Amino acid sequence: MQFIDLALIHIRSGTGGSGCTSFRREKFIEFGGPDGGDGGKGGNVVVKAISNLNTLIDFKYRRHYFAKNGKPGMGQNKTGANGEDVILSVPIGTEVLLENKKTLLVDLVYDGQQYVIAEGGNGGWGNSRFKSSTNQAPRQANKGHSGTELTLWLRLKLLADVGLVGFPNVGKSSLLSVMSNAKPKIGDFSFTTLTPNLGMVIYKQGDFILADIPGVIEGANLGKGIGIQFLGHIERCRVLVHVLDVSSNNLFDDFETTLNELNEYKSDLVEKIKCVVLNKVDIMKGNKLQEIVETFNKRGISVIPISTFSRVGIDKLKDHLLELLKENKIVEAKPNGRTEKWSPI
């Protein structure tokens, strides 16, 4: 299935039904008076987070969502039926923004959370509402209120506990595959990973979700490469792991470049890097690996040497990540049983 994390949609809530002008007409009742009912309320447009979705692909092929209008009122004080709501099912982690892409309406972060984006218009009053001591036979009724029409952006940010960042071809996808049940595409060339991948790491008594995003290169914050497009997916991660290729000729420059690009995108992402991993250590010879580790330690940076090929250091990395997750606990949002709604005023 194609991974889509951004979609533009156009929505409109229903217009309220018109009130009815009617008078009671029955045998032997000479002056029945007004009995026109109110119009029904227009349907709402509601967005709801669903746990079994992981892409916004449905909104790529259908972009217009219109709720039903309310039915008009009828005689005998009968209120018109309310318009049917439109419910937009989206993945957990979806943000709903106005057309300017800056105003955030709601961030859907737990299963079943829902939000009324556009409320339907109220139904108009029937003529029975206008009866008074001075106006016993009103011939006045209201039209229903118009619905709300909006153009919105849906933006998906995946929810994961640990995120992998680093240059292309340093082994992030390989690390995801050996630590979890995920089967990402792996290749010996840059930008093998074109979309984010998620995997569940099941280890000892602590399971967690691991996310791999496309590699970030120098100049990414200016639009170079593709990794910058997906950095939003690691904003929610509690811990970030910086993966480095220990065989790189510019190892420390690669490290600093990634930090700079993350800082340019969003400064607090750098603070989430709690672990630095040196991958492909099985191809190092002599004491060169120890020299690299000592150089990082002199900078006050702890590193974990691993090899996704020979599985060296993988269990040690898992243990370390479990400890980091315990130290960086978050308070999960819980449903309050109330359907929120947005108003343009």
pLDDT tens digits for range 247-278: 888 888 888 888 888 888 787 888 888 889 99
Q: What ranges do the domains of the chain cover?
A: 6-24+31-156, 162-327
Q: Cβ-count burial of 7 within 10 angstroms (0-12 exposed, 13-18 middle, 19+ buried)? A: buried
Q: Name the token pair of 102.
A: 């800056």
Report the C-alpha gap between 168 and 172 in whole angstroms.
8
pLDDT score at 22? 94
The answer to which of 66-75, 130-139, 140-149, 264-273 has the lowest mean pLDDT is: 264-273
235 pLDDT band, cuts 50/70/90, is confident
Mean per-residue pLDDT of the chain: 84
Task: Assign domain 6-24+31-156 to a CATH class.
Answer: mainly beta
pLDDT score at 2? 63
Query: 263's torsion region: left (phi>0), alpha (psi -120 to 50) or beta?
Result: alpha
Listed as own residue / partner, the contacts of 218-227 with beta carbons closer than 8 Å and 24 or more positions apart are: 218/257, 218/261, 219/261, 220/261, 220/265, 221/261, 221/264, 221/265, 225/168, 225/191, 226/191, 226/194, 227/168
Q: Which letter, b or e, does each residue of 269-304 get, where b requires 16 or more Cβ atoms within 10 Å of its Cβ?
A: bbebbbbbbbbbbbebeeeebeebbeebeeeeeebb
Q: Which residue has the higher pLDDT, 184 or 144?
A: 144
pLDDT score at 337? 39
Position 220 pLDDT exceeds 50:
no
291 pLDDT band, cuts 50/70/90, is confident
Task: Assign domain 162-327 to a CATH class.
Answer: alpha beta
Contacts of 345 (CB under 8 A, 6+ apart): none
The answer to which of 40-44, 111-115, 278-282, 285-289 has the lowest mean pLDDT is: 285-289
Q: Residue for token digits 């009815």?
A: 20
Q: Which residue has the higher pLDDT, 190 or 53?
A: 53
Q: Name the token pair of 39.
A: 């119009």
Position 81 pLDDT exceeds 60:
yes
Rg of the chain over Cα atoms, rounded to whole angstroms, equals 29
Q: Which residue has the higher pLDDT, 30 or 334?
A: 30
pLDDT score at 189? 45
Report the C-alpha gap between 292 and 242 in whole angstroms.
15
Q: How far is CA 184 from the centre of its chain?
A: 22
With a pLDDT cut of 70, the percent of the chain lying above it is 87
